Amino acid sequence: MSTPQTPLSRNEQMWVTERVNAPGWGVFYGLVAIVFGIVLAISSWMADISQAALIICLIACAFIIGLGVWITLRAATRITPLQRLRKGREPDHVDDVEIVTISDLRGMVLRYANGGEVTLRGPAPTPAEGKDTVPVSLGETVTLSSWVPANKSAPMIGRIDFSDGARAIGELEEPL
């Protein structure tokens, strides 16, 4: 189960960066909420307010901190598979699949040996040198490496390796 040591092309790097940036802001906002909740709790504790008001403030602070932790963890689980792909880490699954059809501009429908299908959506396939795009042959058997996120709501990341060294990366989805 070794991944090819060819680096990602500029187009692929930009795609991964785009996918990392959105949840990256989620990590930032989650950390801001945690810090805000802690600062609010400390200032509430130090303030000269009644015990009932203090309890209400601390409950609100706990809610804000909990929300910040949830946002941070949710965003981090979306980033992890992308970082593993970018750094060339071992995939969670490696399967031989057949390219069935091109579903739209950026989607390839792939069929597993057991008959199940999945769609890979991402940038166009690039050759081993990573300079330009390559045509895709329908019916060709390729190797699909996939990185599974810790959270099932995050998309699974896949990389197809063609026999000639070309590759395609993207998010794996169940076809409609």
Give the Cα separation of 84 and 82 in Å (integer). Answer: 5
User: By percentage, how much of the chain surpasses pLDDT 90?
Assistant: 23
How many domains are there within the chain? 2
Q: Which domain holds residue 148?
A: 93-173
Closest CA to 79 of 27, 11, 145: 27
Place of tokens 């058997």: 141
Same domain, 65 and 107: no
What are the tens digits of pLDDT across the range 95-140?
A: 888 888 776 656 778 888 888 888 887 776 655 555 556 666 778 8
Which of 39, 59, 86 terminates a domain? The answer is: 86
- Has residue 1 been placed in a domain? no
Which of 37, 66, 86 terminates a domain? The answer is: 86
* CA distances, 39 to each of 32, 42, 65, 88, 158 (Å): 10, 5, 10, 40, 41
Place of tokens 């040198």: 129
Same domain, 27 and 74: yes
- Has residue 61 been placed in a domain? yes
Beta bridge mates, 107: 104, 121
Same domain, 119 and 155: yes
| C-beta of residue 113 within 8 angstroms of C-beta of residue 96 | yes
Same domain, 37 and 56: yes
Strand, coil or helix: 96: strand
What are the tens digits of pLDDT across the range 7-24?
A: 666 666 666 777 777 778
- Has residue 146 been placed in a domain? yes
- Has residue 3 been placed in a domain? no
Q: Count H helices, E strands: the chain?
A: 2, 6
- Has residue 29 been placed in a domain? yes
Q: Is the pTM of this model over 0.85?
A: no
What are the tens digits of pLDDT across the range 52-70?
A: 999 999 999 999 999 999 9
Which of 42, 71, 86 terminates a domain? The answer is: 86
Give the Cα separation of 45 and 135 in Å (integer). Answer: 64
pLDDT classification of 4: cutoffs 50, 70, 90: very low
* CA distances, 47 to each of 38, 51, 55, 58, 139 (Å): 14, 11, 12, 12, 70
121: domain CATH number?
2.40.50
pLDDT beyond 60 at 42: yes
Strand, coil or helix: 172: strand
DSSP 8-class letter at 123:
S
